Amino acid sequence: MSASQPANRREVITTRDIRNRKGGTPIVCLTAYTAPMARLLDPHVDLILVGDSLGNVVYGMETTLGVTLDMMIAHGAGVMRKARRACVVVDLPFGSYQESPQQAFRNAARVMTETGCRAVKLEGGSEMAETISFLTARGIPVLAHVGLTPQAVNAMGGFRTQGRSGPDAERILRDASAVAEAGAFAVVVEGVVEHLAREITSRIEVPTIGIGASAACDGQILVSEDLLGLYGEHLPKFVKRYANLGEEIDRAVANFADDVRARRFPDEAHVFKAVGGGR
């Protein structure tokens, strides 16, 4: 550490740091869509994902398919304003990268230059290997995503656990291997049976980040609002709720409403008085 460097300065976690965590201390990941949430998460997590799940959580969409590139950039830029340490990754939304590697590069480059994020995430397996290779060869780190891929919800017939049958499991294993070999620095493994997530983790050379997968993955990710009790009444099986802030917000707002209606708020402590007794 140089003499000019503050003693309490925290080094930014890079995609290379995440890649090097394979088989080591588990990687802690959560989603954030706003600057205030990013500020709260940043001291505790290794990776913040600005996920296209913001379509569901922030905008009330049924699926992520209506999320636009402009939405991802706006939210990604907000998160980056308060993320000082964590590696921030921004999702590429549906339709912004599937057409060709060239389309993916244009949009990924725009996301990175306009937000300042460290990497982008895209969904898909073997069919996206060429695109991942194209991006990484041109300086854009990629977090891959296999298994249950929400952008393909219509083709999959809904949000169903993946890898239950032998052929399906083999396909997902091939997908994970393909994206790792193409240059992804880590792979999100979502909604697959536990033994398959374990096998993927043991076979590929980059970290796996599980969601609805296995504790054997090299890291775990959840939607922060699920973890905090701010979104949804019916939690997926793989979510553990660590707080119920929704109930606290409900009580706080109810108390505020009661105080306003009873004219208890604002009281003397919350209004401005003229200096010297004037008006």
The residues assigned a catalytic role are 190
- The Cα 149–Cα 46 span in angstroms is 23
CA angle 60, 124, 227 (to 5 degrees): 40
Cβ-Cβ contacts under 8 Å for 45 (sequence gap 6 or more) = 28, 29, 30, 86
**Token pair of 70, please?**
């402009």
Residues forming the annotated binding site for Mg(2+)? 52, 91, 123
Cβ-Cβ contacts under 8 Å for 39 (sequence gap 6 or more) = 82, 83
Residues forming the annotated binding site for 3-methyl-2-oxobutanoate? 52-53, 91, 121
